[in-house]
Structure 1
Amino acid sequence: MSQNQTRSKPSFGGHRGPVMGMPTEKAKDFKGTLLRLISYLKPQQGRLFVVLFTALLSTLFTIVGPKIMGKATTKIFEGVKLKWQGVAGAAIDFEYVGNILLLLLFLYLISSLFNYLQQYLMAGVAQRTVFQLRQEVNQKLDRLPLSFFDRHAHGEILSRAVNDVDNISNTLQQSLTQFITSAVTLLGVIVMMLTISPIMTLIVLLTLPLSLFVTKGIASRSQRYYINQQSSLGKLNGHVEEMFTGHQIVKAFGHENKSIQQFNEINEQLYHSSWKAQFVTGIIMPLMSFIGNIGFILVSIVGGVLVTKQSIAIGDIQAFIQYSGQFTQPITSLANITNIIQSTIASAERVFELLDETEQQPEKVDATQLTQPRGKVEFKDVSFRYKPETSLIKNMNIQINPGQTVAIVGPTGAGKTTLINLLMRFYELDHGKITIDGVDITELNRADLRQLFGMVLQDTWLFHGTIRDNIAYGREDATDEEIYAAARAASADSFIRSLPEGYDTILNEEASNISQGQKQLLTIARAILADPAILILDEATSSVDTRTEIMIQQAMNRLMEGRTSFVIAHRLSTIRDADLILVMNHGQVIEQGNHNQLLEQNGFYADLYNSQFTGKTIAV
């Protein structure tokens, strides 16, 4: 099938996890979505257990380090103290200290090894899980009806399939292990501090409510600045995209200065809101450090007193100070991870909404195949509506014989394109049936059905790639000679060979490096190469000059010989030679016949035809 297809390009930026104080989209059903996301991890539960085990060991080996280091400090202090006291034979036990340092080196090496193993395994778990999720999304998109894509913007669908899935991937790979290590670190640090001194532990814990109060206060204040920042950023992106997309229109109407002024105003708003948001959020860490230093001072004073009373060893004071410094780090990490998880669950919910969409009717298990299609098409009592409350086509009956050229005419909104959509089974009928060579199209696989058709539309849709590949899209196994022959038949060969790279010329993503008429010639060549049983032409020559139109029309006439052809026409002068003309209005075929028969009826078609030459207004 040579049907052209549309592609939307998402605007991707670098992925950045949420920061503290930044508002995140919240899920409507957090618990249900979380449980459903966890269910995707069930096949990996063995690896997850190993990840949890290695994360525990890695963190525990790191946590006990300061406590062991404290023993070395205490031993050095005792040796120095005995020397000061003039004790005979007093010396520092360097062998003991050396053994402690070797033990620490071993522990940190083992901790790093387990940390590496944890990250390696978690990467595999995350990518396997997301691989399954991506597969399901991709397969789901293949099963969704065209009505779904009509209701949703292409960029929105791509955002769910790409950005939201990537957000889940990043969280699984990074935040999950970080959450485990932060929780274990927090619990382990508290336990180690309690083993050293419950009194000093209580002092450190008293700073926790103050830290949470400060963080919550600043986060809530910065939230509105972040909302303003995101709003201004969205306006700026929209303005830039609009101005660059319509750059020629802006210049044609002389609105450059107005466009620049609008940009400057939005950019100024973004500057102020971003500056305030970053400044307010930036206060969090200095204040946390200040609160931490208060705790450090109190711990040092109390610890000094306890050392002088010989209630605690000086090495334990050193270890405790290290633990108190580590205490706030996992709290900050957990706060950030909580924010990221909110965003991730929201992304997962959006992906699951896509996966739960109503699918198109499944294919028949014992589907029929038309091995030698002749092109006889019949509409029998066909009824269809886009919306349940609005009827469009009702009890339509049409019979097209093999090889006939059928023109479909009528005012905008009459149902011309809808007829083609139903024929190709982009939408399912409400009632009746459509047959090709006597076979109901619902008895055919959709792929086999659409292989019977070749389409050339008024809107020319090409892909980023070579001209050769764009023409060959109509038939993947085509040889170069067949591609060249199709291009010659479409009067495209001469202009292609005049390009610097000829058939290997790369078209950009909008194919804007060739003219509109040249793009149309390529889509016609693509249809010719496909050699379909049934042709669908939607004003295929509207973008070319008169001389090229005549050449294309001649090529089309040769192509349409022996084939059933549907021609959606707006310029009625182009379809005077059609075997059958269907005149549509309000979803109904109100007149049918050839050109002369319809003119003799002096009805709707005659008025429509004459209005294109006299400028007469007709009642629709």
Structure 2
Amino acid sequence: MADPVAKKPMFSQEETNYELKIPYLKRLFKFLLPYKKWLVLTLVFMFVATVADLVSPYLLKQAVDHYIPKKDFKGILIIGALLVLMLFINKECSKNKIRLANRTGQMVLFDIRKALFDHVQGLSFSFFDKNSTGRIIVRIVNDVNTLNNLFTNGIVNVITDMSSLVLAAIIMFSINPRLAMVTFAVVPIFLVVLFTTRNAIKRNWRAVRRKIANLNAYIHENISGIRVIQAYVRQKVNRAIFKDVIDDVFLSWMRAVRINGIFSPAVEVCSMIGTLIIYFYGVKLLKINGVTVGTLIAFVSYLDRFWRPVVTLSNFYNQLLVASASSERIFEVLSVQPEIKEDKNPVEISTFRNSIEFKNVWFAYKDEEYVLKDVSFEIKKGMMVALVGATGSGKTTIVNLLSRFYDPQKGSILIDGIDLKKISFKSLRKLIGIVQQEPFLFSGSILDNILYGKPDAKFEEVIEVCKFLGAHDFISQFEDGYFTQVNERGTRLSTGQKQLICLSRLLLQNPQILILDEATASLDTHSELMVQNALNRIMKDRTSIVIAHRLSTIKDADLIIVMDKGRIAEMGTHESLIRKKGIYYELCASQIRFVKAG
């Protein structure tokens, strides 16, 4: 039997083929446009700093060639003062360049992340059906973070380095073209090294990113499933698997570092060869063409300023590759359009007056795989309607369509004779309140959660609602009462308590139509009774649609709709359906047998 410790986790791999995709980079750089003034100011500081840096070797040349041989102390002092001034200008301008570049870059990242978050908030449920939470988070956090170096330093640095490289070359050719030509003879050698190592570096860092993605995924999975892990005593096995995962990260990182380490020494070697050429050939020119010692010193300084940016420029290409891949994934999300769109001139409704009507509704989550087939029924104001049937029969789909989380492919849904597609989102969602099977609380206080749907409600209103539903007593027992922090998902509360807080949040909004999606299914007997009493109070004088798992709770429903394989199989009251002895009768009988067997 295979050793379970030896098994490594399986992760879905995303596309890791990093290629330079110019159209995505162009779209990405459009986020810079609102900050072009800041970018121009940054480039001004950059240019002044570069010029100040490049003037220094020329001043040194003048001092060596003219003032030192003549023992002109005044001239030497002036050159010294100018060198100090150039150093001061360079440092101040560089400091301002870095500050402005980081400010501009962070503002761009802020805009990209905000655009992503705002866009995701408006997408339809179908998008979240197809994309995992982790994948969406990676887009908003990780993919935007990978752009950090590009926008905060990369773009400005590459312009700085290009300017320094070009200006240094121009100055060297202007001082002595022959010496410059001989010095740059080493450039072809460097280009061979660059193209030889670039692909290997790119390939190895791509492997590192993939291994780190696996590491993040495994950590996320283990934290999310910690209860299951401890229940099955899997800690030892998981620790061994985790060790393998981080070993993979370590080994791939070290391989990438070794390959990357070849490049910088290669640049140093090329620079050193260039320096030797300057001294060797320059000494000959001293005797022939009158090349000065100051010229040789200046050439060595300018050569350093020529090769120094080369490493940064080669790394910039890798930054562009990563940014290209990240921007592709970012714009992939931004290009998704919500399937459920509000009408251009939406109808505002403030009151539910007459009826809800489904007319020949067909719906499929996937093309042609219909989960609702020609569904038609009417719910009058004030009615309690129950939806029953086997799992997958279409009950939850009906309430999702009524809430307009999805739109039907065929047929229509009307409220007071108005097509749902014409009603504004805000008024529709204010009209309908949903109680889900799994209560969801946000991190923050109990009060924050209750006020979620109506932030401007008074504290007295909150207490009144909580007392009405029976939640006030247990909330008051906490040390901080309504200001008790519940943490993410309300981990400090029982499921029943969380459901009562969610019901308080719902009642505070005061919806006229209630949807109860198996609201007590995950509760114990005591909590179910407590929550059911609260539900009975909320449902009074409201139109209610109930998805029930315990048929005993819907005997008094005005209408029971029995779903079977996406169609309405039966409709009627409890008594009329029992007399039919059809699907509903069998469901009731099987539950009675189950209870007796228990």
Normalising by structure 1, report the TM-score.
Answer: 0.86
Kindly provide the CA deviation profile for residues 517-552 of structure 1, in whole angstroms up to 9, marking residues without a partner as x: 322222122222222101111221233332332232
Alignment partner of 1:259 out of 207, 216, 238: 238
Q: How does 1:427-466 map to 2 (within 5 A)?
A: 427-466=406-445
What is the aligned counterpart of 1:62 among 43, 53, 56?
53
CA offsets 1:2-58 (integer angstroms, 9 cap, x no match): xxxxxxxxxxxxxxxxxxxxx986357x23223334445455556655554553343
- Matched to 2:251, the amino acid is H
Q: Kindly report which structure 2 residues correspond to 1:87-236, keeping only aligned pairs within 5 A, or say none.
A: 92-115=71-94, 118-119=97-98, 122=101, 126=105, 133=112, 136-168=115-147, 170-236=149-215
d(CA) in 2 for partners of 1:589, 1:573: 20
In structure 2, relative to structure 1, the CA distance for the partners of 1:564 and 1:346 (3 Å cut) is: same
Please say if residues 143 and 360 of structure 1, whose CA atoms lie closer than 8 Å, have aligned partners that are also in contact: no
1:510 and 2:458 aligned: no
Letter paired with 1:187: V
Q: Which residue of 2 aligns with 1:394?
A: 373
Look up the match of 1:15: none
1:255-314 deviations in Å (ceiling 9; x for gaps): 222222222223333332222222332233233323322322232232333335562111
Distance 2:232 2:100 in 1: 59
Confirm whether residue 31 of structure 1 aligns to residue 29 of structure 2. no
**Of residues 491, 514, 523 in structure 2, which corresponds to 1:535?**
514
Q: Structure 1 residues 269 and 360 mapped into 2: Cα distance closer, same or farther (>3 Å)?
A: closer
Deviation per CA, 1:142-192: give whole Å up to 9, x if none. Answer: 443221222222332333334434544652332221121111111111112
CA, structure 1 residues 135+239, in 2 after alignment: closer, same or farther (shift >3 Å)?
closer
* Amino acid corresponding to residue 470 of structure 1 in structure 2: N
State whether residues 402 and 562 of structure 1, in contact with CA within 8 Å, keep that contact through their aligned partners in structure 2. no
Counterpart position of 1:521: 500
Give the superposition deviation at 1:215.
3.8
Q: CA deviation at 1:456?
A: 1.3
The residue type paired with residue 594 of structure 1 is T
1:324 aligns with 2:296: no
What residue identity is the alignment partner of 1:371?
Answer: S
Aligned to 2:8: none
Q: Of 406, 412, 434, which residue of structure 1 is paired with 2:385? A: 406
- Identity rate, percent: 33
**Size of the alignment, in residue pairs?**
581
In 1, the alpha carbon distance for the partners of 2:111 and 2:549 equals: 47
Deviates more, 1:411-420 or 1:262-271: 262-271
Distance in structure 1 (CA, Å) of the matches to 2:374 and 2:127: 25
**Structure 1 portions without partners, runs of 5+:** 1-22, 80-91
Paired letter, 1:61: A
Structure 1 residues 567-602: Cα deviation after superposition (integer angstroms, max 9, x where no partner): 111222222222211111221111111222111111
Question: Are residue 290 (structure 1) and residue 269 (structure 2) matched?
Answer: yes
5+ residue gaps, structure 2: 1-14
**Pair 1:71 & 2:62 matched:** yes
SS in 2 for 1:283: helix
Match of 1:496 among 448, 465, 475: 475
Q: Are residues 1:363 and 2:361 paired?
A: no
Does the 8 A contact of 2:16 with 2:210 survive in 1? Answer: no
Structure 1 CA distance for aligned equivalents of residues 282 and 320 of structure 2: 39
Matches within 5 A, 1:366-377: 366-374=345-353, 376-377=355-356
Measure, in 1, the Cα distance between the counterparts of 2:255 and 2:337: 45
Amino acid at match of 1:71: Q
Query: What letter is aligned with 1:580?
Result: L
The answer as to whether partners of 1:75 and 1:97 remain within 8 angstroms in 2 is no
- 8 Å contact kept, 1:581–1:593: yes
Is this contact kept in 2: 1:375–1:533, CA < 8 A? no
Q: Which amino acid aligns with 2:371?
A: L
The residue type equivalent to 1:26 in the other structure is Y
Distance 2:202 2:149 in 1: 24
8 A Cα contact 1:25 1:343, kept in partner: no
Query: Is residue 278 of structure 2 the alignment partner of residue 299 of structure 1?
Result: yes
Aligned to 2:293: 314
Any conservation in 2 of the 1:405–1:580 contact (CA below 8 Å)? yes
Q: Which residue identity does 1:31 align to in structure 2?
A: I
Distance 1:419 1:159, change over 3 A: same
CA spacing shift, 1:121–1:263, aligned 2, 3 Å: closer
**Residue 501 of structure 1: how far off its partner (Å):** 2.0
How many Å separate the matches in 2 of 1:527 and 1:198?
A: 81
Which amino acid in the other structure matches residue 56 of structure 1? Answer: F
| Matches of 2:349 and 2:463, distance apart in 1 | 29
Question: Contact between 2:22 and 2:324, CA under 8 Å: does it hold in 1?
Answer: no
**Farther off after superposition, 422-431 or 236-245:** 236-245
3-state SS of 1:462 partner: coil
Secondary structure of the residue aligned to 1:553 is: helix
Checking the alignment, whether the CA contact within 8 Å between 1:491 and 1:548 is kept in structure 2 is: no
CA distance in structure 2 between the partners assigned to 1:71 and 1:531 by the alignment? 85
Q: Deviations over 1:437-494 (max 9, x none)?
A: 2222222101110111111111121101001111121322222222223223333322
Over 3 Å counting, the alpha-carbon distance change for 1:442 and 1:481 in structure 2 is: same
Q: State the distance in 2 between where 1:605 and 1:568 align.
A: 14
Higher RCO (Cα < 8 Å, 6 or more apart): 1
Distance 1:258 1:165, change over 3 A: closer
Paired letter, 1:384: F
**In structure 2, what is the equivalent of residue 7 of structure 1?**
none
User: SS where residue 454 of structure 2 aligns?
Assistant: coil
Structure 1 residue identity aligned to 2:52: F
Equivalent residue letter for 1:573: S
CA distance in 2, matches of 1:216, 1:259: 42
The residue type paired with residue 500 of structure 1 is E
Does structure 2 conserve the Cα–Cα contact (< 8 Å) formed by 1:375 and 1:534? no
Q: Distance in 2 between matches of 1:555 and 1:592?
A: 27
Q: Quick one: structure 1 residues 45 and 233, their matched pair in 2 at CA, closer, same or farther if it must change by over 3 Å?
A: closer
Q: Check conservation: 1:520, 1:543, Cα contact below 8 A.
A: no
2: CA distance, partners of 1:120 / 1:250: 47
Aligned to 1:416: 395
CA RMSD, 1 decimal? 2.8
Whole-Å separation in 2 of the counterparts to 1:126 and 1:251? 44
Partners of 1:539 and 1:614 in 2: how far apart? 21
What is aligned with 1:378? 357
Residue 232 and residue 121 in structure 1: after superposition, are their counterparts in 2 closer, same or farther (change >3 A)? closer
How many Å separate the matches in 1 of 2:189 and 2:84? 36
Matched residue, 2:592: 613
1:484 corresponds in structure 2 to 463
After superposition, residues 544-583 of structure 1 pair within 5 angstroms as 544-583=523-562
Which is worse superposed, 445-454 or 162-171?
A: 162-171
Cα separation, partners in 2 of 1:150 and 1:490, compared to 1, 3 Å:
same
Larger CA deviation: 363-372 vs 594-603: 363-372
The question of whether the paired residues in 1 share the 8 Å contact of 2:340 and 2:406 is answered with no
